[in-house]
Amino acid sequence: MSHSAEGDMVSYRRDLWEIAAERHGVVTVPEAEDAGVPAVEVRKLAHRGALRGYGNGVYVHRDVPVTERTQPATAAALAGADAFLHREAVLDLLGVGQFNPRRIRVGTRRRVRRSLPQWVELEARADVSDEDLTQYSGIPATTVRRALEDVRDRMPPERWEILVAQARRLELIDVREATSLGTPAGLPA
């Protein structure tokens, strides 16, 4: 059975849509190749306007609705394998506090030699252990507990305690984690 080039393109576009729909619109070349879509076909679809290229093999599928999680997912993908949201970016992603950052903070435990957009702030984080990493809605990030630890010295103690109480109320950390952060578990929000 032979397929037409146009038929393959429609099939590839659908395959990429399926990947992107699960990742807030974001698709990378390695993910496309894992799904059987050659890199050259990804580039063709971008050239035809189906995908918006951000560089470094990262695209956003134009047929997937953009959400508040599209840009953080794009930022983590742009920084490459093993990159993760950290500090305020994690709290902002989950609606803890009000940060409205100009740039999305992305950490990585390895050296990254790629050009990133100005709205992505990359930081080497060799201090982050595997147990401090997780995913929220498929976006790699530090745990909320670790994010709270990381921002503690960057703000007034009263504001930080409010963040801990809010994370506890949203059930993003448990009583034990709130206590380990040095905040009374019953702290009012």
Task: Give the pLDDT confidence score for residue 184 in this predicted structure.
Answer: 52
Chain-wide mean pLDDT for the chain? 89
Query: 101 Cβ partners below 8 Å, 6+ apart?
Result: 88, 89, 92
Task: Give the pLDDT confidence score for residue 129 in this predicted structure.
Answer: 95
DSSP per-residue letters across 112-128? --S---TTEEEEE-TT-
How far, in Å, CA of 83 to CA of 172, rounded? 21
Task: Give the pLDDT confidence score for residue 181 in this predicted structure.
Answer: 86
pLDDT, tens only, 52-81? 999 889 999 999 999 999 999 999 999 988
Every domain of the chain with CATH number 1.10.10 lies at 5-61
How far, in Å, CA of 82 to CA of 125, rounded? 11
Helix (H) or strand (E) holding 134: strand 133-136
pLDDT, tens only, 132-153? 999 999 999 999 999 999 999 9
Task: Give the pLDDT confidence score for residue 73 in this predicted structure.
Answer: 96
Q: What is the pTM of this model?
A: 0.87
Task: Give the pLDDT confidence score for residue 183 in this predicted structure.
Answer: 61
In single-letter form, the type of residue at position 180 comes to S
DSSP per-residue letters across 21-85? HHTTTEEEHHHHHHTT--HHHHHHHHHTTSEEEEETTEEEETTSPP-TTHHHHHHHHHH-TT-EE
Please choose, from the candidates 76, 81, 84, 86, the residue with its C-alpha nearest in 3D space to the C-alpha of residue 117. 76
What the block records as the tokens of 35 is 């799904």
Reported as a pLDDT band with limits 50, 70 and 90, residue 30 is very high
What is the sign of the dihedral through the CA atoms of 89, 93, 96 and 98? Answer: positive
CB 75 within 8 A of CB 86: no
Of 12-16, 85-89, 162-166, 179-183, minimum mean pLDDT range = 179-183
| Domain range 5-61, CATH class | mainly alpha
